Chain A
Amino acid sequence: MEAFISAAVVLALIFIALGFGVWIFSGLLLVAVASLAFVADFSVDRIGVIAKSVMWKSASTWELAAIPLFLWMGEIIFRSDISERLFRGLTPLVEWLPGRLLHTNVMGCTLFAAVSGSTSATTATVGKITTTALAERGYDRSLSLGSLAGAGSLGLLIPPSIIMIIYGVLAEVSIAKLFAAGVIPGLMVAAIFSTYIMIRCVMRPELAPASLGGITLRKLIGAFVDLVPIGILIVAVLGGIYSGIVTPSEAAAVGVFAAIVLTAILRKLTWSVITDSLMAAVRTSCMVCSILVAAAVLATAIGYMHIPDGLTKAIAAMELSPWTLLLLIAALYIVLGLFLDGISIVVMSLPVTLPIMVQAGFDPVWFGVFLVLMVELGQVTPPVGFNLFVLQGITGSNLSTVVYAAFPFFLLMCLAVVIISFAPSIVLYLPDLLVK
């Protein structure tokens, strides 16, 4: 009961602080400090050392480097010829597809997911390259923002994925199996998103601009030529990782390097391209990373208030049938996802939820994929939804616009959760096949 009240108080504080218009990172920090002071009754000194320690720890994390570096890569691509060529090249290829270039968000994020396990980096990089181009061509803004918010978290499900490694260690499940298990559900979510875009665009053709006319062989050849630069970039980064020369955490630096070299080859490289892209990357990265750091302090405060512990233990005490249990656990994760980041959700809840789920007969590999999907849902729910923040930052839209745009995709991800619950073999087929 105490955990429920604390959770409600924290949520209310977040709504008040953010609603008042405080910058989001300082708002989250304020809520963390206030709830430690008033709910947990800690002294100012104790709160101060906690905040300092957690901020330093979360800011000086090597994995976080993917954010500024991929952002820089995205900004270079945005400022060079590469993105223009990408869209010019794709246009004739997707002519037949309802929604045409709107699918670039989903496709781009899926591809990026094979490189990066950071949702913020994925959303920001792909978004930087696509949103302006799509808006200029007259594609529906809401559908573009929403698909980006939804597909931006595919990186958690499609390997490499740090959150899966963490789950694997905590749950003592083979990481190779988890990586294999994420692939089909990841592609399935992407397919659901694309199908939704197609249906919307068939029902309301004005969501996409008018077609530019038929496809000729000449156009197709031109298209492939235009796609060469981005193709080289993708091969360089993916090839680096899958040959073992580059680790996933290092891939972003290779991306920056390749983008600079390609821009130079295309004769678009100037000093101002480098400095402008770098300064823009610094701005977005400061915004994203400062929010992540503040959210880490908030997560610690929530841990001190024993909220995840209390909520999970309340469910564990109920002795439910497997399906009711699953439903409640899903609801629990949606609640935790309102105000916690993904890794915090996993590490805070797992010691209690995993044993009860396994005891109820759920496969731990399946539960890992289920959990990652629940974490992805949390990325697009307010008040603390990192994909929403990133999209607000890179597009300048209001948070409410982004939330509204992301909502259908939130529902589609819920649909994906329902599908894997009724057909667990979607998750378990590949790991059983590949990993002995």
Chain B
Amino acid sequence: MRHFLSLVDLLTRAGAIMAAVIVAAMVGHILLEIVLRAVFDSSTYVLDEFVGYGVAASTFLGLGYTLEQGGLIRVNILLARIRSRAMRQLTEVTCVAACFGVFAMVWLYFWSSISRNWTRGAVSETVAQVPLWIPEGLLLLGLSIFLLQLVAYAIRIVSGEPMIGERGPVAAAE
């Protein structure tokens, strides 16, 4: 179990770093495009396509990390009112399960879309002709990490570790 948890933490960290690198790369690509257009009358011709992929990938690759850091917001009315810790744990596990359920469903349909694009050999209709399974695959990777992080979090709650709201001030509000 401990191996699983540390593996998930490792994957979460890797996803976060990928998300950060992608955001930085988006800045680089946009600056390159500006220089090409202004100085060389040229273009990369794929700016909105690639930056679009970048936003999708970074959003989902960073999702597990954001969850773990307490950066995902929620309405605390109910959780703040429940006195019994056992009930709070139960509520929290229910939230995790609901979230897992709906994203597992989304995961399945992303998977089938990606495998279809793979078999079709579908590419984007741009100069770059990017195989469509690649950008969707990055999103799927992010979703996978997020789902694993949800499982890990559920295990931690059940084994009595502090819940996200109980770990002191949330990271995003530093």
Give the B-binding residues of A (Cβ under 8 A). Answer: 17-27, 29-30, 33, 44, 47-49, 51-53, 55-56, 59-62, 64-65, 67-69, 72, 240, 245-246, 249-250, 252-254, 256-257, 275, 278-287, 289-291, 293, 389, 392-396, 398-400
Contacts and interface: CB of A to CB of B under 8 A. Distances in A.
Nearest to A31: B102
B19 A396 contact: no
B172 A282 contact: no
Contact of B55 (A59, A281, A389): A59
19 contacts: A18-B74, A23-B99, A24-B72, A24-B74, A30-B99, A33-B105, A48-B109, A59-B55, A60-B52, A60-B55, A60-B135, A69-B26, A69-B27, A240-B34, A250-B33, A279-B20, A283-B62, A285-B23, A396-B173
B71 A286 contact: yes
Interface string B90-112: 01101100110011011011100
Contacts of A65: 26, 30, 51-52, 54-55
B42 interface: no
Contacts of A291: 73
Contact of B59 (A47, A245, A246, A293): A293
A19 B26 CA distance: 36
Interface residues of B, number: 62
Contacts of B56: 56, 59-60
A22 B27 contact: no
B122 interface: no
Given A21-B79, A250-B30, A52 B52 contact: no
Given A19-B77, A284-B172, 16 more contacts: A19-B75, A21-B77, A22-B98, A23-B73, A29-B103, A56-B110, A250-B34, A254-B30, A279-B16, A279-B20, A282-B58, A286-B72, A290-B66, A291-B73, A396-B170, A399-B73
Contacts, number: 197
B71 A287 contact: yes
Interface string B60-80: 101101110101111111110
Give the secondary structure class of A's interface.
Answer: helix
B139 interface: yes
Contacts of B48: 62, 249
A277 B75 CA distance: 26
Interface of B: 16, 19-20, 23-24, 26-27, 30-31, 33-34, 38, 47-49, 51-56, 58-60, 62-63, 65-67, 69, 71-79, 91-92, 94-95, 98-99, 102-103, 105-106, 108-110, 113, 135-136, 139, 169-174
Contacts of B72: 23-25, 286-287, 290
Contacts of A283: 62, 65-66, 69, 71, 171-172
A51 B107 CA distance: 10
B99 A22 contact: yes
B78 to A, nearest CB: 5
B170 A21 contact: no
Contacts of B74: 18, 21-24, 27
Contact of A52 (B31, B63, B95, B106): B106
Going nearest first, the 6 A-B pairs with the smallest beta carbon separation are A396-B173, A253-B30, A59-B56, A62-B48, A52-B109, A283-B71
A290 B47 CA distance: 22
A44 B106 CA distance: 11
B52 to A, nearest CB: 4
Given A23-B99, A287-B66, A395-B173, A278 B106 contact: no
